[in-house]
Amino acid sequence: MAVDLKKISTESRNQNTLDIDIVPTLDILKKINNEDKTIAIAVEIALPSIAEVVDKVYDAFIKGGRLIYMGAGTSGRIGILDAVECPPTYGVDYNMVQCLMAGGEKAFIKAVEGAEDSFTQGKVDLENINLSKNDIVIGIAASGRTPYVIGGLNYANEVGAITSCITTSANSIIESIVKYPIVAVTGPEPITGSTRMKSGTAQKMICNMISTASMVKMGKVYENLMIDVKATNEKLVSRSLNIICTILECSVTEAKELLDKYHTVKKVIFASFTNETDNSVIDECLNKEHGNIRKAIKFYKENK
């Protein structure tokens, strides 16, 4: 059955770019740039909805649940980009934030024809990762009608998991079936139907907000520094040392000695702020407060 594209706002024609194929190069870029300027406004309008979802993601994490994105094509790739950056940036397990993509991992680099049209595969993929009621599933779909995503969300509702969506189309199917919809209406694309442009940018901005704000609430950030960064390469080792130097106002040599002793940036900060030198005590306090350093320090001082 053919899809009625006229009902999808991202498929309508943009009157500002009707002549994009005949203007000079700089004017092509200006037209695209002018359209891009509208994206942040669309996302801003959706901020209250995004905040609700962030709080639900945080609740899921505290219960040991996972954030699971689902998408097809560009939407799926955006979910994967967000998910794979969380472990090195915030030191979390790779299962904590993940993305299921129509067509599987191979679809990330090469389109798998027809993969997004299966209602059942979304359910199967969630079953394969043992979806539970503690998880939150966020379907990403510019059109708001992707069968793979809708099938997965319907199953998530059955399981009792929290459901949300990120869509850039108004009054879509996906918006009606989730508990916490995020709708950022970006309007017609500069190139009709090319949702990797404005829609994709809005989706990436929203995913950034959801994962970042959730990790901030989890205590993965002190002030605006990523204190759970995994030092897996030279750049990240240098960043870890620089964070310690910045917070403690110490030398790189001193920072390295402290990192060698306590092994993580977060534990270095805790030890320095409390004068506690016993790694087991530090671990106990951090574990008690789910890794939130401010809460852990407060707990330590109140129970010393």
267: CATH: 1.10.8.1080
Domain termination site, one of 152, 186, 217? 217
Number of domains in the chain: 2
**50, 22: one domain:** yes
pLDDT band at 4 (very low <50, low <70, confident <90, very high): low
Q: Structure pTM?
A: 0.91
Q: Which residues are catalytic, by number?
A: 85, 116
**261, 186: one domain:** no
Q: What is the pLDDT of residue 5?
A: 59
**271, 197: one domain:** no
pLDDT tens, residue by residue, 204-228: 999 999 999 999 999 999 999 999 9
CATH number of the domain encompassing residue 119 = 3.40.50.10490
**146, 39: one domain:** yes
Domain termination site, one of 174, 191, 217? 217
Q: How far apart are CA 44 and CA 79, in angstroms?
A: 20
**55, 191: one domain:** yes
pLDDT band at 1 (very low <50, low <70, confident <90, very high): very low
Mean pLDDT computed over every residue of the chain? 93
Q: How far apart are CA 10 and CA 195, in angstroms?
A: 7
pLDDT band at 7 (very low <50, low <70, confident <90, very high): low
Domain termination site, one of 201, 217, 233? 217
Say if 59 falls within a structural domain: yes
Q: What is the pLDDT of residue 128?
A: 96
**86, 191: one domain:** yes
**Mean pLDDT (whole number) for 30-40:** 97
Q: What is the pLDDT of residue 6?
A: 58
Say if 1 falls within a structural domain: no
**184, 247: one domain:** no
**81, 141: one domain:** yes
Quick one: CA dihedral 264, 265, 268, 269, positive or negative?
Answer: negative
Question: Range of 229's domain?
Answer: 221-303
Say if 105 falls within a structural domain: yes
pLDDT tens, residue by residue, 61-112: 999 999 999 999 999 999 999 999 999 899 899 999 999 999 888 887 887 7
Say if 294 falls within a structural domain: yes
Q: How far apart are CA 280 and CA 276, in angstroms?
A: 10
